[in-house]
């Protein structure tokens, strides 16, 4: 596989999302959680995006234990030839773990923040990694080619999407017919999970939103310490 270390910004007409009146009108605005944006979708307040200033928290030494990352990666079951996209990849915490599982696994690392992409690019250059491509997404698109990805990983990021309707449409376009989405979110049903409420999601809420976008919950692997691992497929 040829070395790909540069920032890719795909612009494919197939991923452009046409806004219907329903996709515009369904977002509402009202006061809510102090940590929320005041923008609501399907009775859920959208959270603020974690900025690049949070890199140290993303890379904290205790994260493996708190989230059991090894177990999560087992759930994804990466196999030879898989193409996976980490949406909201941040500093690349999961990206580089996945890219090292097998040389013929290819990872798209998608993020909207230049600082996060720069952080990952430094690691790519320093370690001569040739199976990771950086992609700058937008608030409404993952900017990936149509029908290009076998698996999509979203770790504690979906609840921060400013435009979940448009983003799920973009993701659906990029995902192959038999592809899977691995939605990782802190469990809202569990008050013992030490995360702000607006940064949690319940299985019920996730299913409601993903079903509206044309996905079906295949299973929820409920053996991570703090998070849901919900696996969605195209309906």
Chain segment 13-35, per-residue pLDDT in tens: 333 333 443 455 799 999 999 99
**Averaged over 145-157, what is the pLDDT?**
98
- What does the mean pLDDT of the chain come to? 90
CA angle 40, 145, 98 (to 5 degrees): 80
**Averaged over 133-156, what is the pLDDT?**
98
Q: Is the pLDDT of residue 6 over 60?
A: no
Owning domain of residue 89 = 21-234
Tell me, yes or no, whether 7 lies in a domain: no
Tell me, yes or no, whether 4 lies in a domain: no
Is residue 174 within 8 A of residue 145, CB to CB? The reply is yes
Q: What percent of the chain has pLDDT over 90?
A: 81
State the pLDDT at residue 15.
38
Q: Which of 165, 166, 182, 185 is nearest to 231 (CA)?
A: 182
State the pLDDT at residue 24.
53
Greater confidence (76 vs 14) lies with 76
- pLDDT interval class at 57 (50, 70, 90): confident
Q: Which of 90, 87, 197, 195 is nearest to 142 (CA)?
A: 87
Tell me, yes or no, whether 12 lies in a domain: no
Tell me, yes or no, whether 8 lies in a domain: no
State the pLDDT at residue 21.
38
* Radius of gyration of the CA atoms of the chain, in A: 17
Q: pTM of the entire structure?
A: 0.89
For residues 138 and 120, what is the distance between their CA atoms, to the nearest angstrom?
17
**Averaged over 167-191, what is the pLDDT?**
98
CATH assignment of the domain containing 209: 3.40.50.150
Q: Which tokens belong to 111?
A: 């993020």
Tell me, yes or no, whether 137 lies in a domain: yes
Tell me, yes or no, whether 129 lies in a domain: yes
**Averaged over 186-209, what is the pLDDT?**
97
**Averaged over 144-155, what is the pLDDT?**
98
**Averaged over 144-164, what is the pLDDT?**
98
- Number of domains into which the chain is organized: 1
Tell me, yes or no, whether 10 lies in a domain: no
Tell me, yes or no, whether 1 lies in a domain: no
Greater confidence (17 vs 110) lies with 110
State the pLDDT at residue 204.
98
**Averaged over 137-162, what is the pLDDT?**
98
Q: Is the pLDDT of residue 53 over 90?
A: no
């Amino acid at each position: 596989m040829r070395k790909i270390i540069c920032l890719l910004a795909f612009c494919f007409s197939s991923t452009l999302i046409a806004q219907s009146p329903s996709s515009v009108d369904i977002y509402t605005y009202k006061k809510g959680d102090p940590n929320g944006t005041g923008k609501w979708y399907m009775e859920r307040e959208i959270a603020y995006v974690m900025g690049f200033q949070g890199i140290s928290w993303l890379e904290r030494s205790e994260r493996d234990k708190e989230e059991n990352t090894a177990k999560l990666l087992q759930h994804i079951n990466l196999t030879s030839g898989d193409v996976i996209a980490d949406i909201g990849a941040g500093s690349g915490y999961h990206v580089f773990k996945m890219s090292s599982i097998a040389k013929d696994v290819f990872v798209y690392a998608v993020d909207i923040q230049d600082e996060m992409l720069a952080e990952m690019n430094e690691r790519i250059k320093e370690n001569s990694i040739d199976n990771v491509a950086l992609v700058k997404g937008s608030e409404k698109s993952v900017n990936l080619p149509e029908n290009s990805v076998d698996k999509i990983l979203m770790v504690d990021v979906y609840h921060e999407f400013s435009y979940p309707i448009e983003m799920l449409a973009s993701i659906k376009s990029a995902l192959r017919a038999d592809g899977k989405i691995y939605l990782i979110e802190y469990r809202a049903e569990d008050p013992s999970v030490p995360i702000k409420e607006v940064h949690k999601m319940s299985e019920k809420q996730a299913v409601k939103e993903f079903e509206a976008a044309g996905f079906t919950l295949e299973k929820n692997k409920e053996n991570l310490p703090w998070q849901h691992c919900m696996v969605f497929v195209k309906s």
